[in-house]
Amino acid sequence: MAKGGSRRILGAALLVAALTSTAACGASSDGAGRAVEGAPGPAAGQQAPAKTAAQLRAEQRAAVEKQRAVRAAAARKWGLKRVPLEAPAPPRTKPVITTRKGFETAGTGLPPVFTTVPTKEKVVFLTIDDGSDKDPELIRMMAELKIPYSAFLSDYVVSDDYGYFEKMRKSQPAGVTLNNHTLNHKYLPGLSYAQQEREICGMQKIIEKRYGKRPELFRPPYGNYNEDTLRVAKSCGVKAVPLWAAEAFPDHMEWREWDQDLHPGDIVLTHFRGKEEWKGTMPDMIRRVMDVITSKGYAVGRLEDYV
Ligand SMILES: [Zn+2]
């Protein structure tokens, strides 16, 4: 009750703030704070003269240019062949996501299992699994390039350094999310309902306790699941089960689709791995996958803006 009450009070405060700011902007703005061209300015002596529409446009242009320059400098610093493209504005309403054909279970009303998000935008999503390699360079690189990503964590490789993923979360508070990839990375269809519950809901609790938020996204190890998996996941707060359409390595890509290509809304999988496990470092892998994504004309978006 207390929670709902405080939310209502916050809502009312926001409404008052919105009304006040609309009133203060008066005739020279469209209510969203933007200046309207040709609208009459305030009468002399009433308030300081507002910036003209042309001035505001010039300031906006300068801010965008500055952002681009920062992005280009970061791309040079980290050795990217191309400057990553800017993601399109997130959709105003999230698309309806359904389970991919051939990926259904007998159950109904369960979280959707999908490999691509329905969108026409040239945007793809980067997801990084497991958590064994904990390269501080990766966190720095992604934060400086401002590339969003969703991590899917498995406790057996994360628990030796929860702090690494806390730094990751804080490095891009709006751009990084920490999600569920089970406690011990087992083949879930081989487990009973109760065992799956421990694996999935146990990890929900750990992520909530360590990082303050119960994940809404869950990815089963190896992409293997059954109806129990989805029932269990739903029972402890999972809303969606994103799999992947492509997988990135430091030296190559692997594709799910016959055309061996990216498509709007594709989810790209990769892993937290080091030089001992594959042919390069995490920054090497990011350089490679970003080159593929950018050269095909795609930007990296934030999965949670669409799901
Ligand atoms: Zn995994």
pLDDT, one tens digit per residue, over 81-108 is 999 999 999 999 999 999 999 999 999 9
Identify whether 58 is part of a domain: no
Alpha carbon of 181 to ligand 1 centroid (Å)? 7
Dihedral pair phi/psi, residue 124, rounded to 5°: -125, 170
**Domains of the chain: total:** 1
pLDDT, one tens digit per residue, over 152-190 is 999 999 999 999 999 999 999 999 999 999 999 999 999
Alpha carbon of 200 to ligand 1 centroid (Å)? 13
Question: What is the reported pLDDT for 50?
Answer: 82
Alpha carbon of 273 to ligand 1 centroid (Å)? 11
Identify whether 41 is part of a domain: no
Q: Do you know the residue count of the chain? A: 307
Task: Assign residue 185 the CATH number of its domain.
Answer: 3.20.20.370
Interior angle at CA 7, CA 34 and CA 205, nearest 5: 115
Alpha carbon of 294 to ligand 1 centroid (Å)? 26
Range of the domain at 192: 85-306
**For residues 123 and 87, is the Cβ–Cβ distance under 8 A?**
yes
Closest of 114, 121, 118, 125 to residue 94, by C-alpha: 118
Identify whether 199 is part of a domain: yes
Has this prediction a pTM greater than 0.95?
A: no
Identify whether 52 is part of a domain: no
Identify whether 7 is part of a domain: no
Alpha carbon of 180 to ligand 1 centroid (Å)? 10
Question: What is the reported pLDDT for 19?
Answer: 40
pLDDT, one tens digit per residue, over 225-246 is 999 999 999 999 999 999 999 9
**3-class DSSP assignment, residue 266:** strand
Identify whether 263 is part of a domain: yes
Closest of 90, 267, 264, 292 to residue 174, by C-alpha: 90
